[in-house]
């Protein structure tokens, strides 16, 4: 039987954005801010206290920022933060109790357990960063791809776009990010955990967007646990001393290194480099 391969979808088969005029920038941000102010001003008239009404406004602008289709990070931040900053400038937040200012700090701590600082903080993979790699790393349908440290799932989406028939999985140390990622990427299996503890055997590919310091350990782990012929894919950081099968570099975007496990050219790393 001929093996089914997972290649890039032809342009016509790629999902088209259903976004209509309403998503044309800067309309979504203006609508989000308008809706947020409307909630803040109208809910008190219906008997809701000022603080919960302002929170509803912030939640609305945050939700619109979240839902923006294929928007850049700065557009999302602008949409989400425009309303709270306007509230701050208007002096409306001065009535909030002092402990509320600790909430963003608590949120940051939940999103980034201290352990995660050793590897990499959250920084998303651009959707098209891996475009074209499916032609180089041909995977059978149902092959498992793991994003080690999957954050909010941007890497999972880029992987699914490139290998649409693969089984996409993610592991993320922050339970808050894991939860948000699972909600954003229902096509993937997302678990909370430490990528260094997770078994990589059985994965046809492991994808990383971590830190330069993590790469030697990741290569060592991949060589110990992954089958010959499988792939280690890294955005932005290369494995020191290993030779990549493919290096994808495009102007204006991070390079991508694709390593084949067990390839004679890829080399190995001294024991002790791994975790």
Ligand X SMILES: C[S@@+](CC[C@H](N)C(=O)[O-])C[C@H]1O[C@@H](n2cnc3c(N)ncnc32)[C@H](O)[C@@H]1O
| Smallest distance, ligand X to C-beta of residue 65, A | 17
At which residue do the structure tokens 């922050």 appear? 174
Closer by beta carbon to ligand X, 71 or else 177:
177
- ω into 26 cis (within 30 of 0): yes
- Phi first, then psi: give them for residue 167, nearest 5 degrees: -95, 110
Take residue 118 and report the two structure tokens written for it: 């050793």
**CB–CB of 69/88 below 8 Å?**
no
Integer Cα distance of 132 and 8 in angstroms: 7
143 lies in the binding site for ligand X (CB under 6 A): no
Residue 72, SS3 per DSSP:
coil
Take residue 137 and report the two structure tokens written for it: 């790393």
| Smallest distance, ligand X to C-beta of residue 137, A | 17
Closer by beta carbon to ligand X, 6 or else 181:
181
Question: What residues from 107 to 136 belong to the interface with ligand X (CB under 6 A)?
Answer: 116, 119-120, 122-125
39 lies in the binding site for ligand X (CB under 6 A): no
Take residue 158 and report the two structure tokens written for it: 């880029």
Closer by beta carbon to ligand X, 78 or else 181:
181
Question: What residues from 179 to 238 belong to the interface with ligand X (CB under 6 A)?
Answer: 194-196, 209-210
248 lies in the binding site for ligand X (CB under 6 A): no
User: Which residues of this protein are in contact with ligand X, per CB under 6 A?
Assistant: 116, 119-120, 122-125, 147, 149-151, 154-155, 171-174, 177, 194-196, 209-210
């Amino acid at each position: 039987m001929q093996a089914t391969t997972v290649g890039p979808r032809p342009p016509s088969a790629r999902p088209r954005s259903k976004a209509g005029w309403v998503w044309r920038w800067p309309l979504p941000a203006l609508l989000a801010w308008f809706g947020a102010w409307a909630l803040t001003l109208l809910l008190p008239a219906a008997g809701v206290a000022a603080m919960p009404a302002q929170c509803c406004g912030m939640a609305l602008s945050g939700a619109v920022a979240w839902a923006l289709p294929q928007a850049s990070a700065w557009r999302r931040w602008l949409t989400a933060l425009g309303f709270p900053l306007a509230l701050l400038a208007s002096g409306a937040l001065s009535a909030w109790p002092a402990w509320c200012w600790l909430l963003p700090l608590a949120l940051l701590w939940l999103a980034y357990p201290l352990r995660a600082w050793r590897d990499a903080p959250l920084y998303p993979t651009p959707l098209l960063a891996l475009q074209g790699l499916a032609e180089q790393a041909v995977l059978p349908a149902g092959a498992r791809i793991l994003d080690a440290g999957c954050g909010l799932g941007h890497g999972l989406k880029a992987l699914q776009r490139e290998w649409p028939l693969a089984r996409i999985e993610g592991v993320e140390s922050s339970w808050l990010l894991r939860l948000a990622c699972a909600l954003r990427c229902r096509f993937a299996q997302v678990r909370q955990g430490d990528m260094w503890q997770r078994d990589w055997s059985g994965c046809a590919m492991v994808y990383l967007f971590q830190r330069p310091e993590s790469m030697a350990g990741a290569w060592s782990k991949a060589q110990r646990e992954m089958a010959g012929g499988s792939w280690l894919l890294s955005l932005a950081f290369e494995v020191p001393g290993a030779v990549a099968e493919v290096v994808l570099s495009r102007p204006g975007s991070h390079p991508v290194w694709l390593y084949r496990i067990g390839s004679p050219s890829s080399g190995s790393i001294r024991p002790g480099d791994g975790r």
